[in-house]
Amino acid sequence: MSTHPGPAAAGADLAQLALDFHHTHQLLDAAAQGVHKWEVRITAAGTPVGSLTAVRGLYWKSDNLRERMADEQSFPALVAAQLLDEEGRFTCEFEEFIESASSVLVVDGLHLEKTFADPLVVAVVVAAVIDRLTDNYFAVVLPAKNACTDAGSALLAEAGALLSAQEFSDELQIIDNALAAPEEAAQRVRSRLRSLARHGGPAAWDEDDDKDEGWDEDGEEDEKLTARTAAVLRVALEELSEQIWQDVAAVGDAPLGRGEGRVLGSLPPITFGQDQQWRRQMARCFDDLAADLTDTGTVRPGCTGEEMALHLGIDRAKTLTRNRPRLVAKTVEGLSEDHRDFDWDWCSAVLFEDHDVLMLFDASLDGIEDSGNEINQALGLANLAAADWFEPFRPGQARDPDRGFGRC
């Protein structure tokens, strides 16, 4: 099975792929209540490159779902014959196969230009269609290998396998939306296609999906952020800085619990009893990192506190790109685009020497910050105790101790 688009698809702008959902609902047509037919048009940079059909069969809204789906003919009719009995009820075999489905989504009729005709691309398209047209009570039906009558159905069969579909028969495979595995599989295929789109060519793709990203042509680690990535990360850090300084003013020296305060309460529990001076130093970490991004366009945490601040900053930047598209668009206005823009997973992998500080969130590792802890000693951990968070990793590159604080 192919696991990434060939040279043609890799050379195309995968980041510009989009779906246009088209459905006409006749308000007074009784037949329209039980079955909804959607034409999903696939475009790349606004140019049509393919389409597929998605038929929603709603069991409780149909007089007889088997007859109604059979009337659609072709693959939906085959699905109806195998999943429903003559009275329009789901068969015992189907009900035993599925966790708790009350409706079905039948995906077929795929036509896709050769440039994009790859199972990985199709799997991401199907995952998006599932997100748009179903909920947890749907069974999504795709062709199995023995039902493949053309190139489109063959691609759908391979895409189904990538999305953890299970074979119901020689001709049908089903994705059970009530299970976690299909959603996890969808996240994997999206991540793979996103990675390929960012790198812009098959040479950057690793079949094992384990290759470290973020290396330049000479094999040296490349820590330079793209201009747009740096701009959004700076906004995220500045936003967190504003919030944590508000926390410092509100909390002072008082102990706090998880969830109290907008930022302080999201730190590891070992920090909850620290005093105001410690909290001011933690707040300054966000300011220092934001200043680094302004001055150099990249960032490298110099102490444990800055590592934690950067982890939170990357998480917030990821949230901004998902939930605040207008703010992001305004932030990056005028900055040149790059296929590596907003690759927050790459940031997490490359901008840190290690992720040891995240162990402090694991309750099963309670006490790991103590230098006398066996796990601490075995792993060679350092500077995890809250009192050591602002000790520089590299004394020769320490920040000016007299730089003061940007806020009161």
Mean pLDDT of all residues in the chain? 88
- The pLDDT assigned to 214 comes to 43
> Is pLDDT of 203 > 50?
no
User: Which of 17-31, 159-173, 294-308 is the least confident region?
Assistant: 17-31
More confident residue, 55 or 208: 55
Round to whole Å and give the CA distance between 17 and 102: 31
Task: Name residue 44's beta-bridge partners.
Answer: 17, 47
277: its two tokens: 């001076």
Query: What's the one-letter identity of residue 329?
Result: A
CA quadruple 69, 70, 76, 82: dihedral positive or negative? positive
% of the chain surpassing 70 pLDDT = 90
- At residue 14, the 3 state secondary structure works out as helix
> Is pLDDT of 201 > 80?
no
Query: What mean pLDDT is predicted for residues 271-284?
Result: 96
Q: Which residue has the tokens 């982890």?
A: 311
Round to whole Å and give the CA distance between 298 and 305: 17
Tally Cβ neighbours within 10 Å of residue 131. Answer: 12
Q: Which residue has the tokens 């800055």?
A: 306
362: its two tokens: 């694991």
> Is pLDDT of 184 > 70?
yes
pLDDT band at 197 (very low <50, low <70, confident <90, very high): confident
Per mean pLDDT, which of 106-110, 148-152, 353-357 is the most reliable?
A: 106-110
- The pLDDT assigned to 128 comes to 96
> Is pLDDT of 407 > 80?
no
Which are the contacts of 387, defined by CB distance < 8 A and separation ≥ 6? none
- The pLDDT assigned to 345 comes to 85
The three state secondary structure string of 313-382 is HHHHHHHHHHHCHHHHHHHCCCCCCCCCCCCHHHHHHHCCCCCHHHHHHCHHHCCCCCCCCHHHHHHCCC
pLDDT in tens, 32-73: 888 999 999 999 989 999 999 999 998 888 889 899 889 888
Q: Where are the alpha helices (DSSP H) in 163-275?
A: 180-199, 227-251
List of domains in the chain: 7-204 (3.40.630), 227-397 (no CATH)
Tally Cβ neighbours within 10 Å of residue 285. Answer: 28
pTM of the model: 0.65
Query: What mean pLDDT is predicted for residues 264-270?
Result: 94
- As to burial, measured by CB atoms within 10 angstroms (0-12 exposed, 13-18 middle, 19+ buried), residue 65 is buried
pLDDT band at 272 (very low <50, low <70, confident <90, very high): very high
Round to whole Å and give the CA distance between 289 and 406: 12
> Is pLDDT of 216 > 60?
no
- The pLDDT assigned to 233 comes to 98
- The pLDDT assigned to 200 comes to 54
> Is pLDDT of 204 > 70?
no
DSSP one-letter string for 259-286:
TSTTTGGGS-GGGTT--HHHHHHHHHHH
pLDDT band at 223 (very low <50, low <70, confident <90, very high): low
% of the chain surpassing 90 pLDDT = 64
- The pLDDT assigned to 308 comes to 97
Round to whole Å and give the CA distance between 398 and 135: 52
According to DSSP, residue 383 is labeled S
